[in-house]
């Protein structure tokens, strides 16, 4: 057994202890997450009533909800790599809620713009979408989020079929860069790229993790196939439990 095998087995042993919380504990984790995810909204509502949103409350709300959309998008995309790294399959049970909170904050963000900023002036909104690239890109990201939220129920997964559902939900790999581009363009006027770079790097790592994982699964699978081929003279024993499970989406 090599040093890396020992390390991997230790990390698995440690992770196993928290691998499968009892169904009751998962319900508690979900309820806690549900409440925690509402705190940014609660803070905004409090800010409105306590008059604590600064000189331009609409701008404050737009920016805050935009930030939280990106944060929840990052958390949603972090579930799968975290599941692989920690060997905690149960994390998947939190992904739908995180994804729906991404949509929820995007909807609040869009509604703030649509209602409080533009007062439902469809001509002004249309002009903005056509003429201001950062709005065009943000709008595109939002439009792409709608079908993902609409098909998030178990019923819709069944109706579409797992394969089509997974294909549709790959749109998130486009939504994430569009969200960053939207933020980047917004900040371009002031040459203030610090935060778009931070968010962009986090999302880039989360997307790159999928590419690395996909490559690794391919490599291990092709090695397994080679080992099964008697002409190579290798046995499956050499691969042990390293053959990972199915690659999942998002």
Query: CB 11 → ligand HEM: shortest distance, Å?
Result: 33
Residue nearest to ligand HEM (CB): 66
Q: How many CB atoms lie within 10 A of CB 137?
A: 21
Q: Which is nearer to ligand HEM, 30 or 63 (CB)?
A: 63
3-state helix, strand, coil in the chain (%, to 5): 80, 0, 20
Q: Which is nearer to ligand HEM, 89 or 126 (CB)?
A: 126
Contact 72, 37 (CB under 8 A): yes
Contact 79, 94 (CB under 8 A): yes
Query: CB 59 → ligand HEM: shortest distance, Å?
Result: 5
Residues that bind ligand HEM (CB under 6 A): 59, 62-63, 66-67, 69-70, 106, 109-110, 113, 135, 138-139, 141-142, 145, 175, 179, 182-183, 186
DSSP letters of 87-142? T-GGGHHHHHHHHHHHHHHHHHHHHIIIIIITTT-HHHHHHHHHH-HHHHHHHHHH
Q: Which is nearer to ligand HEM, 140 or 247 (CB)?
A: 140
Query: CB 115 → ligand HEM: shortest distance, Å?
Result: 11
| CA dihedral (117, 64, 187, 149) positive or negative | negative
Query: CB 195 → ligand HEM: shortest distance, Å?
Result: 6
Q: Which is nearer to ligand HEM, 101 or 110 (CB)?
A: 110
């Amino acid at each position: 057994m090599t040093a890396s095998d020992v390390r991997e087995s230790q990390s698995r042993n440690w992770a196993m202890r928290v691998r499968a919380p009892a169904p009751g504990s998962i319900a508690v984790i979900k309820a806690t997450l549900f409440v925690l995810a509402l705190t940014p909204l609660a803070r905004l509502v409090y800010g409105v009533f306590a008059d604590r949103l600064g000189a331009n409350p609409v701008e404050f709300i737009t920016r805050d909800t935009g930030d939280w959309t990106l944060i929840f998008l990052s958390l949603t995309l972090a579930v799968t790599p975290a599941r692989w790294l920690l060997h905690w399959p149960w994390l998947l049970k939190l992904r739908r809620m995180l994804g729906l909170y991404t949509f929820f904050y995007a909807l609040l963000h869009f509604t703030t713009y649509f209602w409080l900023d533009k007062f439902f002036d469809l001509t002004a909104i249309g002009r903005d979408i056509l003429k201001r690239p950062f709005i065009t890109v943000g709008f595109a990201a939002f439009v792409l989020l709608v079908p993902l939220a609409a098909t998030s129920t178990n019923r819709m997964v069944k109706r579409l079929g797992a394969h089509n559902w997974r294909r549709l939900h790959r749109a998130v790999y486009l939504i994430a860069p569009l969200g960053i581009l939207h933020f980047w363009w917004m900040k371009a006027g002031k040459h203030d790229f610090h935060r778009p770079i931070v968010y962009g790097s986090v999302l880039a790592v989360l997307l790159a993790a999928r590419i690395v994982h996909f490559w690794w699964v391919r490599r291990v699978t092709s090695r397994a196939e080679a080992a099964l081929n008697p002409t190579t003279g290798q046995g499956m024993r050499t691969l042990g439990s390293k053959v990972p499970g199915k690659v999942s989406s998002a």
